[in-house]
Amino acid sequence: MADSTPARRIPATLIAGDGIGPEIMEATLRVLEALEAPFDWDPQIAGLGGVKAAGDPLPQATLDSIRRTRLALKGPLETPSGGGYRSSNVRLREAFHLYANMRPAKTLIPGGRFDNIDLLVFRENVEGLYMGYEHYIPIDDDPHAVAMSTGVNTRQGARHILDYAFSTAIALGRKKMTVVHKANIMKALTGIFLETAYQIHQEKYADRIALDDVIVDACCMKLVINPWQFDCLVTTNLFGDILSDLCAGLVGGLGMAPGANIGQDAAIFEAVHGSAPDIAGKGIANPVALMLAAGMMLDHVGLKDKGERLRRAIERSLNADGVRTGDLGGKADTKTFAAAVVARLGDS
């Protein structure tokens, strides 16, 4: 089926990443090429590749590229141990103020322990306990006798992610937003987020989407017992990191989990799993998460028809054709799965 979207070229930064990153990126690019996605790629490096090539896990050339394109597709990055290196992912979020992290968790392979899951997790991405305000206090001969970490949440930061979460959920036809917090204990740090959520909802969104809230530990229990009671979750940085991984576990694991990082200055789409160095180079990695992230990227630039075609082709490859990688109980390698998706794109 021909895509009716007028042809236009879209500059975008491409970061293959570490470990299995180059393999799953190659598979994803093959699928995007078959889809005739109009991206003009600027390949760059980060993570361990950046350290080896430029002495920095986030080289200046990579930052400059994203500043130019304002759009990136990124594979998993490995943070080098020691040497004072900070996470490249955290640095990217800070550099481009990627305040909103959206991670969908949707059942693609039916019949598992949980079925018919369709959740959206919205995570505040630049504040909270991930700001890195940490230090040790030495006592006697122990330089690390006391460890301290300070979390910071701001009203403005909360408004950014909450406005994005509410408006995006409404645009997608969602019915309910649940704020996840720990305001019963961290009354200031997460209380400001909860308070702001109800203020913004009353000001702008009360007639378009329902709102409730739940304490984070209870939310974890409820997700395992009855995840279908939730529609969309919005929460602070640390809680969002944990809950989005839990939700990914409901639909088959991180190999099925894409993520979008949206900010004022750029949008970066990624597979949220790690670099899996133990299987790197073997050609057996599951590329679904990165392919789904590419689908979210297509949606973001207004090519939703192509995004939907990609998601349908992935679902049909997994189910109608039974082509699955080893982590999903199949025997296909990375290239075989990519070929199956390409073939299905020809049907759509």
Task: Give the number of other CB atoms < 10 A from CB of residue 202.
Answer: 10
Q: How far apart are CA 130 and CA 228, in angstroms?
A: 29
The answer to whether 192 and 155 are in contact (CB under 8 A) is yes
Kindly give the interhelix angle for 21-34 and 288-300, rounded to the nearest 10 degrees: 50
Q: How far apart are CA 281 and CA 19, in angstroms?
A: 8
Tens of each residue's pLDDT in the chain, 348 residues: 445 545 689 999 999 999 999 999 999 999 999 999 999 999 999 988 888 888 888 999 999 999 999 999 999 998 766 556 677 888 899 899 999 999 999 999 998 889 999 999 999 999 998 877 889 999 999 999 999 989 999 999 999 999 999 999 999 999 999 999 999 999 999 999 999 999 999 999 999 999 999 999 999 999 999 999 999 999 999 999 999 999 999 999 999 999 999 998 899 999 999 999 999 999 999 999 999 999 999 999 999 999 999 999 999 999 999 999 999 999 999 999 999 999 999 886
What is the reported pLDDT for 65? Answer: 97
Of 303, 268, 272, residue with least CA distance to 69 = 268
Q: Can you identify the CATH homologous superfamily of domain 8-96+265-348?
A: Isopropylmalate Dehydrogenase (3.40.718.10)
Distances from the Cα of 155 to the Cα of 96, 118, 184, 302, angstroms: 19, 29, 18, 30
3-state SS assignment for residue 233: strand
Two tokens, residue 192: 């400001």
- DSSP helix, strand, coil percent of the chain (3-state; round to 5): 40, 25, 35
Whole-model pTM: value is: 0.92
- Phi, psi (rounded to 5 degrees) for 277: -60, -20
What is the reported pLDDT for 54? Answer: 87
Alpha carbon dihedral 308, 260, 49, 254, in 10-degree steps, equals -80
Sorted by where each begins, the domain ranges of the chain are 8-96+265-348, 107-255
What is the reported pLDDT for 1? Answer: 46
Residue type, 182: K
Which positions ≥6 away from 244 have C-beta within 8 Å?
101, 103, 105, 121, 123, 257, 259, 272
Q: How far apart are CA 51 and CA 88, in angstroms?
A: 11
- The DSSP code sequence of 45-80 is --THHHHHHHSSSS-HHHHHHHHHHSEEEE----PP
Task: Give the number of other CB atoms < 10 A from CB of residue 90.
Answer: 17
Of 71, 101, 99, residue with least CA distance to 247 = 101
Q: How far apart are CA 182 and CA 188, in angstroms?
A: 10
Architecture per CATH, 107-255: 3-Layer(aba) Sandwich (3.40)
Q: How far apart are CA 132 and CA 128, in angstroms?
A: 9
What is the reported pLDDT for 230? Answer: 98
